[in-house]
A and B are shown apart, each in its own frame.
Chain A
């Protein structure tokens, strides 16, 4: 994105410029409003947030860690994250490399295909997977959930690694192979170190996506395999538990941390 460029506005339009900035600022305020609300609630002593806040309390965080059902959901989400992240990163890296290096007709179609889970309605993905996994006897299992998460997270990993691959100097690979190294050796010793930022960013995306995945997961969970987001969903649906605020606050902090990581590796502008 060329947003680092100096986008100079004409001298005369100072008035318009300020109008634009105020309008823009309001939109960002609108965007950040829910986050502020959640932090307000997470730290509020009462079940409902007060504005302005009266005092700060950590009781909902405490309640979260005291609640076995929540901890079980955390465990499921954590397990999935640990399994899904490496697998997605692996599949994503290999696919991205192959798509970048191979030349064949229909490569563009394949590229669109790999990215398609991003735009297929997750309702459809959910049902299709539910049906197939039921047939395989995996519906409601952790394996099934893992498959669903990998499917949804894969496009992100492919994209970040592709960005890294595109900015890497290909002549280094050519040089390596001209010195007698096999493509596999070159990949391992030349390419991989160079695309590390993209791989790390891809892993971060995979982790964050898996941890927060709910639209497809709702079709694939069973009472014994409830993830954090799924639990939040059923909880909000049925009752009002302020612990959800605390959980949400944690999620948001994790998201910002993930952002920082992605920015440090391949940079936010290119990741999106």
Chain B
């Protein structure tokens, strides 16, 4: 694992960060001394991850509108601003996976509330902070975690796939709209990973055929840094 202090000036927020990809992202970013705030629902898991990584842990549910501004306030208040937001929190919808005609309305609503509305609302609440970072010349980036289920029609993945497809399109439109303000938006598909979410969806999958979440996280961090070409952290790295 790459370690060091090359990202010490970078301020990153990660949602869904006490398991799977989100947790791997926080660990890798912490190992490179980035300033991190992360969000998850469960108090004990947030405390454990905060203790382990030294990152600022925030308890909240991005699917709840009333939680969004308390989360945003803790992110910007703890980090003094924000350069990168990674919306990684995801809901599968029904578990085990269900055909759409067998999916309860509330299960689809939950998937949309986390995967689409949660990412939209938190990004909107933090848009001002990200734009301020862009005006400062630090760059500003939103990474929304997507899936090939957002593109391909896999039976059983309707709630997840439809909500992730909507997120993917939201990301594409926002990328166009915010370009001139200096904000970049990216959708990233981390691939099929050996995570709790994947185990819920495909309980009998052979883990050896799945990507390790830390490998996907490393790819995402490389893409993130490439999208912040003028970031001071990059310059420090270049001279080190």
To the question of whether A and B form a pair in one complex, the answer is no
